[in-house]
Amino acid sequence: MTLNNLNSQERFVYEWQYSLAGDFNTALAEVFTKADIKNFHRLSKAFPDEGTGMYNYLNTPRWWENVQKKVQND
């Protein structure tokens, strides 16, 4: 398994989901999942790729399934 096909947004979420992320990125992902809209937007300004990845994970239908397929097909 390699994550070469993933962009930074996808990699951030993938590593978080499979406990491959470091302490900071794990904590950041958890904060994104708990943030209200206003704070989610603020966090996304500071961490745009991570914010976009988490937004897609939480709101875009089949986004996560497509990320998983990219890894399987790599």
Query: Which pLDDT tens digit goes with each residue over 34-71?
Result: 999 999 999 999 999 999 999 999 999 999 999 999 99
**Does the residue 57 lie in any domain?**
yes
Mean pLDDT, range 16-26, rounded to an integer: 98
CA distances from 71 to 7, 14, 31, 35, 68 (A): 11, 9, 25, 28, 5
What integer pLDDT is reported at residue 73 of this predicted model?
Answer: 84
Quote the number of domains for the chain.
1
Per DSSP, the three-state class of 50 is: helix
Residues 6+ apart with CB under 8 A from 52: 9, 44
Could you tell me if residue 46 is inside a domain? yes
pLDDT at 1: 67
Classify residue 1: in a domain, yes or no: no
Q: 62 lies in which domain range?
A: 8-72
Q: Judge whether 32 and 12 are in contact, CB under 8 Å.
A: no
28 in a structural domain: yes
